Amino acid sequence: MTEPRRLRGHKATATCCIASRDKPGLVATSGEDGCICWFDMRCKDVKFVMDVSNEPISSLCFNSGNENIIYVSTGNEVKSFDVHMLADNSWKPLESYNYNKEEINQVTCNSRSSFLASADDGGEIKIIDIHQKRIFKTLRAGHTSICSSVQFIPWRPWEIVTGGLDSKFIIWDFSKGRPSKIVDFGLADMRSGSNAGQCLNPAFVHSVKVPDVDMLDKIGKICVVARGDGVIDVINTESELTATKPKSSTKSRKGTQSKGSDGGVPDENGRKWLHLDYSLGGHTAAVSCVTFSLFGEKGKFLVSGGNDKLVKVWDCSRCLDSWQTGDTNELLHLNINLTKKVNWLCTTPAESDNLVVCDTTKLVKVYSVS
């Protein structure tokens, strides 16, 4: 792996990065300096800088239907901006939502651009109706500690997944405001299969990720969970939800299962999960971020970054095949050594300069993965 490009623009640690799907090579990054930097991978210097907050920015996301709209979480507030309407140095938000009581860790927009979800330090998730510009639902009594990550499930329009520092992974029905499934990675039987070389940190959930709609044909209806003990769990969400249904309802659901839904090598609890751990070339410290690749064949790779100063690129096809066969050889496609811990990462749909990494410095690093 050659030396990365270094993107300059932030005055403090870079915290988050997102890549445009509509405009390959366009990347937005946020930092503890309260700024958003916009980069075009074809150019050397920062395109422009938005100074939007006196507080650090924890998370960014695009409006799924209009990437000119960007959502920003800072403190306990979510702000939206129309990048095309902004005058020079006049960063007035379109909307500002102050529903969370505690500091927000992640904000995300659903695929229909109708709802936002913001997860906070109090363990609550606020669902915001974008069109009505008001709170739709508050999800509580699921997490008992910080809720670190949230994602909408694109094939289930009324459901989200969350992860927290209580070691819980939760699937919610946000129309009803209650959990559909709770998995506690802190329980002894959830950790019994861990490799002897695995780090002994608590299995806090730092990041969750579900594939976009255009990846489902290839990798199926899965969710990836990044854990504090260095393990990455690939979970079949449909199998998990079906397992919680009464037996009378499982038959009617059979036709909605996609690739990988019926396969898998069950663990000792009967779960059809894949654990990407130390024994398979995985992380030796907490995994801070996971994402799917946008370059080449979308969703071909799973990319993870951790506190072990490593970025790992996993072959999703091999991972799903191993679900069926139990063969776990050569799941790891590429290992990238860094000098700092990973805060966040994203991929771009470009052939080169397609992996963007925010570490614990103000310089954003860009790598080319083939």
Say if residue 239's pLDDT is above 50. Answer: yes
User: From the centroid of its chain, how far is CA 96?
Assistant: 23
Say if residue 85's pLDDT is above 80. Answer: no
The pLDDT of residue 167: 96
- Tokens coding 32: 């503890």
Banded pLDDT at 317 (limits 50, 70, 90): confident
The β-bridge partners of 49 are 37
CB of 161 closer than 8 Å to CB of 147: no
Beta-carbon neighbour count of residue 345 at 10 Å?
23
CB of 9 closer than 8 Å to CB of 49: yes
pLDDT digits (tens, 9 = 90+) for 178-216: 999 999 998 876 654 455 555 678 999 999 999 999 999
Say if residue 327's pLDDT is above 50. Answer: yes
pLDDT digits (tens, 9 = 90+) for 27-64: 999 999 999 999 999 888 999 999 999 999 999 999 99
Say if residue 231's pLDDT is above 90. Answer: yes
May I ask the CATH class of domain 5-191+200-242+266-368? mainly beta
CB of 65 closer than 8 Å to CB of 116: no
Q: Cα(347)–Cα(368) distance, rounded to whole angstroms? A: 10
CB of 236 closer than 8 Å to CB of 260: yes
Banded pLDDT at 324 (limits 50, 70, 90): confident
**What secondary structure letter does DSSP report for 192?**
T
Which of 11-20, 53-62, 347-356 has the least mean pLDDT? 347-356
The pLDDT of residue 80: 96
The pLDDT of residue 252: 34
Q: What angle do CA 181, 186, 191 make, to 5 degrees?
A: 105
CB of 146 closer than 8 Å to CB of 164: yes
Average pLDDT over residues 122-140: 97
- Tokens coding 61: 């996301």
- Tokens coding 128: 């915001």
Task: Please provide the average confidence, as pLDDT, over all residues in the chain.
Answer: 88
Q: Are strands 232-236 and 273-276 parallel, antiparallel or unpaired?
A: antiparallel
Say if residue 254's pLDDT is above 60. Answer: no
Residue extents of the structural domains in the chain: 5-191+200-242+266-368
Average pLDDT over residues 273-285: 92
Average pLDDT over residues 245-267: 39
CB of 359 closer than 8 Å to CB of 365: yes
CB of 156 closer than 8 Å to CB of 112: no
pLDDT digits (tens, 9 = 90+) for 283-296: 999 999 999 999 98
The pLDDT of residue 178: 94
> Can you list the alpha helix ranges (DSSP code H) found in the chain?
188-191, 216-219, 237-244, 247-253, 316-325
**Core vs surface per residue 78-94: b (16+ CB within 10 A) or e:** bbbbeeeebeeeebebe
Question: Three-class SS of residue 355?
Answer: strand
The pLDDT of residue 268: 46
Share of the chain above pLDDT 70, in %: 87
Which of 116-120, 238-242, 344-348 has the least mean pLDDT? 238-242
Say if residue 258's pLDDT is above 80. Answer: no
